[in-house]
Structure 1
Amino acid sequence: MSLLFLLVAWSAAVLSCALLCRAAVAAAHLTPPAPRASAQAVPAAAAAERRGSGLTLYEMAYLSGGPHRLADVVLVLMAQKRRLLLADTGWATVVDPVGTDAVERAALTAIGPDGQRRIPAVREALVSDEAVRQVADRLETAGLALPAAVRPGISGAVRLVRGAALVVLLSALATYWKAAPGADSGPVLAWFAVPLILTLGTWAAARFELHPYSDWATTAGERQLPGAAGSRSAPDSPAAPAGSLITLALRGPAALTDPTLRAALHSSGA
């Protein structure tokens, strides 16, 4: 029985570490290098004014949480402009059917001619819209967003390595528990130290080299976000007070201070 547990532990450790290495290499090969001048790297978007970091509001949202986060941002932005009414029951209603940029017009199109639609349906329609894809394409071309072929490889592989470390520990405990009374299980348990060191060492290296494990932003993209090391602005600075659209873009709907807007997004599965 101890050999079976040892085989499970070794298999989980080797496979998870190999997958993480493969994901890291794939990300390095498929992600273009970020240009030196970020202001030129990310073309101007009519969606929102540029912030201190050189990113638009939509670009911040995409790098922080992908197209779903971007969809939440544009809905809240239009609600604050009184173009939409977001009810706490999870419905979006058009108040002013005029969009000021391509993403706002896409949101109005997603709501449809009836002028009212459930927020989850609006969000799903938005994430596949051409206007949102153009934001993603700009960021990928600039080397700030991970290509679709890479997502969500690194973060998923890191979770596998963490899980493999837990499997190794549980296998060692099961081996000790199943050992016959009075039997010397020390040599067998020592064999579990190698896969444990392998998984924990790989995890530590990934945290040092690859952290944060974003599903959307490259390392260069993470550095462009407010609050990151070397960034020229912070989410809690006067230019971006807590509860602002920038905070929503960076942290998600839970960061909203308006209870109605927060309930509108969360009640719809946000």
Structure 2
Amino acid sequence: MFWVLFLLVAWAGVLTSCTLLLRAASRAAEPAAGATAHHHDELNLYEAAYLAGGPARVADLTLLSMHRQRRLLLAHTGWATVVDPVGRDAHERSVLGAFGPDGQSPVPALRSAVAADDAVRALSERLGAAGLALPAGALLGIGEGVRAVRAATLLVLAMAAAALAVPTSGSTTAVVLSWFALPLMLGAGCLAIARFESHPYSRWASPAGQQLLRALDREHGAGGSLTAVAVRGIRAVPDPGLRAALGSGNRGRIPRQRGH
């Protein structure tokens, strides 16, 4: 029965990691102090974009909005060109400030500049204070919890293999594996629930923020509107050329502009 020691180690790892994840999720679900009720129509597009996709989504929305107003040209090659050099808000000014002296820039560079700008940081702080966005500490805690459960699940498999490698007098292989199946199912179940709960908004939005996004998507997320892009991302852009332009660099490669 020496294999029981391996089973106890497996259970200890799974229970500890699942508890860590549940505590982090519980802290993230707690409303922020002083938070008040909001209606989804109170969200502007930048706020909706941040809650749904974080800083990168805000950057994509800003670029697309300027392109649709013909104040910026987005080429399918992944380059952007300035048409109107006057920004109408802080996010647009951060886009324009990222261009070089020739008025052209690769889209990934613009996205990175906008996502790291103080305007997005202020947006995050405002949404966090309103109880609509998850604070950075909550995001970190949930991420650590998920990684801990994943590691514990692998530990169960390792302990099961170790248990089968030692003499199991009085216990068949099937019996040993059935005992290890219980902590394995618990760990896998926690990971599945965490993945389900985190789709599609909870990496950035609090539960209150997720409710607003769902209502906003139902009522104003039709077609290829900017609201649909804010909530669903660039997959809501109907033009394949624009999707290619906004999606450039997401796999680490910046397309070269022809003739540039």
Please give the range of the TM-score, normalised by the shorter of the 2 chains.
0.7 to 0.9
Residue 55 (structure 1) shift:
0.9
Change (3 A) 1:223 1:138: same
Q: Is the 8 A contact 1:54 1:224 kept in 2?
A: no
Whether 1:132 and 2:132 are equivalent positions in the alignment is no
Match of 1:261 in 2: 242
Match of 1:10 in 2: 11
Match of 1:22 in 2: 23
Q: Is the 8 A contact 1:64 1:216 kept in 2?
A: yes
Change (3 A) 1:29 1:98: same
Q: Is the 8 A contact 1:140 1:147 kept in 2?
A: yes
d(CA) in 2 for partners of 1:74 and 1:156? 31
Whether 1:214 and 2:202 are equivalent positions in the alignment is yes
Residue 259 (structure 1) shift:
0.9
What count of residue pairs does the alignment treat as equivalent? Answer: 248
Alignment partner of 2:76 out of 88, 96, 105: 88
Q: Is the 8 A contact 1:17 1:161 kept in 2?
A: yes
d(CA) in 2 for partners of 1:160 and 1:251? 29
Whether 1:143 and 2:131 are equivalent positions in the alignment is yes
Residue 125 (structure 1) shift:
1.1
Q: Is the 8 A contact 1:119 1:268 kept in 2?
A: yes
Residue 159 (structure 1) shift:
6.1
Change (3 A) 1:32 1:244: same
Unmatched runs of 5 consecutive residues or more in structure 2: 252-260
Q: Please give the root-mean-square deviation of Cα atoms over the aligned residues, in Å.
A: 3.4
Whether 1:123 and 2:111 are equivalent positions in the alignment is yes
Q: Is the 8 A contact 2:10 2:183 kept in 1?
A: yes
Match of 2:217 in 1: 234
Aligned residues with identical type, % of pairs: 50
Secondary structure of the equivalent of 1:192? Answer: helix
The structure carrying a bigger helix percent of its residues is 2
Q: For 1:133-172, what aligned pairs fall within 5 Å after superposition?
A: 133-154=121-142, 157-158=145-146, 160-161=148-149, 164-165=152-153, 168=156, 172=160
Q: Is the 8 A contact 1:86 1:264 kept in 2?
A: yes
**How does the TM-score come out when normalised to structure 2?**
0.78
Secondary structure of the equivalent of 2:76? Answer: coil
Q: Is the 8 A contact 1:69 1:249 kept in 2?
A: yes
Alignment partner of 2:171 out of 184, 197, 210: 184
Secondary structure of the equivalent of 2:105? Answer: strand
Change (3 A) 1:92 1:12: farther
Match of 1:249 in 2: 230
The 10-residue stretch of structure 1 (195-204 or 215-224) with the greater mean CA deviation from structure 2: 195-204
Unmatched runs of 5 consecutive residues or more in structure 1: 40-51
Q: Is the 8 A contact 1:102 1:131 kept in 2?
A: yes
Alignment partner of 1:64 out of 52, 57, 68: 52
Change (3 A) 1:255 1:9: farther
Residue 257 (structure 1) shift:
1.1
Letter in 1 for 2:115: V
Residue 176 (structure 1) shift:
7.8
d(CA) in 1 for partners of 2:136 and 2:143? 14
Change (3 A) 1:77 1:199: same
The C-alpha deviation readout for 1:172-202, integer Å capped at 9, x for no partner, is 4x36865779962355445425524643675
Q: Is the 8 A contact 1:31 1:147 kept in 2?
A: no
Change (3 A) 1:152 1:73: farther
**How does the TM-score come out when normalised to structure 1?**
0.76
Change (3 A) 1:132 1:120: same
Change (3 A) 1:151 1:181: closer
